[in-house]
Amino acid sequence: MVLLGVLLAVTFLSIVLGSRGVGLGTIWSAITDHDPTSTDEVVIRDLRLPRTIIGLLAGAALGMAGAILQGLTRNALADPGIMGINSGAAAAVVISIMVVGTSDVTSYIWWAFVGAGVATTVVYGVASFGREGATPIKLALAGAAVSAGCYSITTGVTMVNSDALNELRFWQVGSLAGRYWPIVEQTAPFLLTGIAIAVFAGRWLNGLALGDDVATALGQKVGRTRAVLFVLVTLLAGGATAACGPIVFIGLVVPHMARAICGPDYRWIMTYSLLLSPIVLLTADILGRLITFSGEVQVGVVLGLLGAPAFAFLIRRKNMAEL
């Protein structure tokens, strides 16, 4: 309940705070009786509201995707980046710029989503070879290999195509700025569906955490469960990456924060990640708007600055084996 109250407060501040100050009356009027001639109401309705909604959805999706990957791979360092999702999305975006001539964010969404899905599928397919199937170690190694390959493609294209480099530079930093209603409308169905399913994934993850043999003995279809969870991660992290670009540290740090509060039960970890992740993302976005007098710092940069010491603190408090 405390976290829910904090989430509501951060959501309110995300709508109110920025380079242009607005009053409560203006916010209410913008929502209930919009006047398109009022600049303040346009700022609230067309800029801050969709930005805040994307922050809520993408934050929750990234945190829950990170928790699923850490349980799925039994790897405390697992996050959407390690499974090639971010690098696959980036590679698809630069290919779309070079081949198709894509030049706007709403077009990036579908290319990034496809790239994230293809990368995740390749990782799971490669890791599934062999008698034991997609074990945690093979998943991590396949993810690292696919990430390296996609990164090479991205670097090669941007080295020979300056337009691709310029377009990718803004998208790849990770940002909530410039996310308007069309982006909300295109990504919200995927993100909401993934979040709704992920809330109930804790029981599957608890079974996998006991080891494949014990999970099988308890009646869980380990291979099928892993496949379903991988599809779910693609839906969550792919949708969030397509909407905001590759946001760092949310999927890595937030599940550890949740675990520190509630312990190892993934049913609670998923619930706490659902609340903590948008709090962290929106707070970083608000800080990015306020720390400079002109312009703003993108949320991906702020999270990079805050996430690194936060994760180092977590490692210092506990051994990685305990995380």
Q: 131-155: per-residue pLDDT in tens?
A: 776 677 787 788 888 888 888 888 8
Helix axes 85-95, 162-172, angle to 10 degrees: 140
pLDDT for the residue numbered 99: 75
Name the residue range of residue 215's domain. Answer: 2-317
Q: Is the confidence at residue 11, as pLDDT, over 90?
A: yes
Say if 201 falls within a structural domain: yes
Say if 323 falls within a structural domain: no
pLDDT for the residue numbered 85: 82
- Computed over every residue of the chain, the mean pLDDT equals 81
Highest mean pLDDT among 16-25, 153-162, 242-251, 252-261: 252-261
Could you give the CA distance from residue 50 to residue 48 in angstroms, rounded to a whole number? 6
Q: Are 259 and 323 in contact (CB under 8 A)?
A: yes
Say if 322 falls within a structural domain: no
Give start and end residues of each alpha helix (H) in 161-298: 162-172, 181-198, 202-209, 212-217, 222-244, 250-262, 266-290
Instruction: Note the pTM of the prediction, 2 decimals.
Output: 0.85
**Distances from the Cα of 287 to the Cαs of 19, 177, 221, 242, 306, in angstroms?**
11, 13, 45, 23, 11
Say if 145 falls within a structural domain: yes
Say if 162 falls within a structural domain: yes
Total count of domains within the chain = 1
Q: How many CA atoms lie within 13 A of 47 on its CB side?
A: 15
Q: Is 312 helix (H, G, I), strand (E, B) or coil?
A: helix
Instruction: Compute the average pLDDT of residues 43-60.
Output: 88
Name the pLDDT band for 319 (thresholds 50, 70, 90). low
Say if 64 falls within a structural domain: yes
Say if 134 falls within a structural domain: yes
CATH number, residue 49? 1.10.3470.10
Say if 146 falls within a structural domain: yes
